[in-house]
Structure 1
């Protein structure tokens, strides 16, 4: 018994000593115990699970939560996540794009373990909707085991919220990086059209932006598991356009208000912007100009609270005294943070 305790004590001292050495070397080498452990775990490189160009026709709306407390923080020390969020949400602008069909792709070679289909596409808007999907929060989904490649042993990926009836693989199928698994949808616990990707190593969720064995929080070494650079964009544009009536977020996620031609008899012309990741203190500026280039409406304000998804608009009523003049109208919008322009949008519409 005494010899066994001595062995355990020696092992503890060895580990403790290595930890001290690694942390002492960190200022010069950028090396920590967590980084060293992450680099010693064989891992496949993962590709984004969606067929689109990130930052153009799709975007990352939510990241894994890195705060073990009831608070939430993403790997970039931002708030584009929520408590307990276990994956990365690759989103598209609206259900119109979803209806057109956006493929969900396998992120790495592997073998399909499980598949579920048949769950209705319905965006969750309230507690009633949440209760309705209890037990099927992932919606239509696919789980892939990546152990068919040596560096994939112990790794799994899960793809959630696929469109009902779109899944193209079955359990036992061998897939490669880029194999189409189905289409982006809103099944399960989804409030916007997207694919949720969870990456797990030996059953534990791994944030692909920082890698395995990273300590909690956001100020950690990053050992990315992506096969390409994915920029951290905590604030960006979802959609912008015009309407003849005040829009709401549900209508925008549904894909309404895509028109760019309006009638001189419409009751109003509104210029709207839907964005994500706005923060308290951000400054927004709008202008609406008529076909002669005159600024008809101008508005500036400072946002008082943060929002993961945000909607704002300005507009002009149509009246006999001040009618909507036929021709090209222009809407301009800027979001400014700490003196820097974060979002800069120009859109045109025609009054006929």
Structure 2
């Protein structure tokens, strides 16, 4: 339900009046208490009024990537809300790092990147600056990081939103687009949802994603709490997203089978996505790639043979926190007891306290 600006102010005024009338009906014997309550009521109403005014002054911004969160994309990192060298995201979690200024909408791997996932304008406006031509190379070493100094955004776009209602002073920046994909130029007018390019891994990117930074009057704004929020995570939230995003600090990136231990680099490349493998492989491994693992998280792996027999059960606890994590279990292909052909099944759970945060099942045909 939408409420007009005039109605919002009227509601706030009525709240003040209603609370005042309620207090004025109390007996003279409690005059001091009544005056105190009236002052509290007026302060509360002023706060509500200010909140409504703040909300009407802020534009809203749409998801900047054409995908379904939780299905073929996910938010991996959030803006850092801690001004100290420490880091915390708006949900009081650790899916950020010191000085991180934007929201990272990630895709599973480079194969998805190659297929092309559109980056969209989060709101209408005018293109101010663009850059293209930076190679897509995920950062793996300090030398890689040094090579992109001064070009950390990679292929990117900056849009000014002064043309929309309450948009004066607001800008959005889109980083790490795929080389050669930028479809706009300075001076172009775009609408909300206009395709700007596709997701890449250019600049200071260790995984394929689009990094969205929202600025107001030159100041970075965390879109999950709004421009009026103070530092830290225990703050009043007035998000400026057009839609509501669930806070999911822990989740699945990918899972599958392999015939050898996978590395993080190989998984970001998109390797080990087969659903059929030959019977003569050296080993059968079930792997998972997860984000937002915390110390003490319980990991449960189960592997079942084609007869439905549980041939492997592994339960352990994470000994350290990790923004991205991989784990795997498996069975060697012993010539004396070769792997049975047929459909193998595997399960994985990540449990934190009494909550199961990740639960996944996969199947593989061994031929």
- The count of residues paired between Structure 1 and Structure 2 equals 332
| 1:234 aligned residue | 249
| 1:39 aligned residue | 55
Aligned mate of 1:253, from 238, 243, 268: 268
| 2:202 aligned residue | 187
Q: Say if 1:84 and 1:30 are closer, same or farther in 2 by CA, change over 3 A.
A: farther
Q: Say if 1:278 and 1:29 are closer, same or farther in 2 by CA, change over 3 A.
A: farther
Aligned mate of 1:132, from 147, 152, 166: 147
Does the Cα contact within 8 Å between 1:273 and 1:313 map onto a contact in 2?
yes
Gaps of 5+ in 1: 1-20
Does the Cα contact within 8 Å between 1:34 and 1:214 map onto a contact in 2?
no
Higher Rg of the two aligned structures:
2
Does structure 1 residue 212 correspond to structure 2 residue 215? no
Does the Cα contact within 8 Å between 1:26 and 1:32 map onto a contact in 2?
no
Does the Cα contact within 8 Å between 1:38 and 1:211 map onto a contact in 2?
no
Quick one: distance in 1 between partners of 2:165 and 2:348? 50
Q: CA deviation at 1:30?
A: 10
The within-5 A match list for 1:97-246 is 97-246=112-261
| 2:321 aligned residue | 306
Gaps of 5+ in 2: 1-36
Quick one: distance in 1 between partners of 2:272 and 2:45? 53
| 1:318 aligned residue | 333
Pairwise CA RMSD: 2.1
SS, match of residue 146 in structure 2: helix
Does the Cα contact within 8 Å between 1:35 and 1:214 map onto a contact in 2?
no
Per mean C-alpha deviation after superposition, the further-off stretch among 154-163 and 313-322 is 313-322
Quick one: distance in 2 between partners of 1:95 and 1:29? 52
TM-score by length of structure 1 reads 0.91
Superposed CA deviations along residues 242-293 of structure 1, whole A, max 9, x for unmatched, are 0000001000001111111111110010000000001111100000100000
Aligned mate of 1:272, from 268, 287, 302: 287
| 1:10 aligned residue | none
Superposed CA deviations along residues 81-133 of structure 1, whole A, max 9, x for unmatched, are 00000000000000000000000000000000000000010000111001000
Quick one: distance in 2 between partners of 1:32 and 1:77? 25
TM-score by length of structure 2 reads 0.87
Quick one: distance in 1 between partners of 2:352 and 2:43? 32
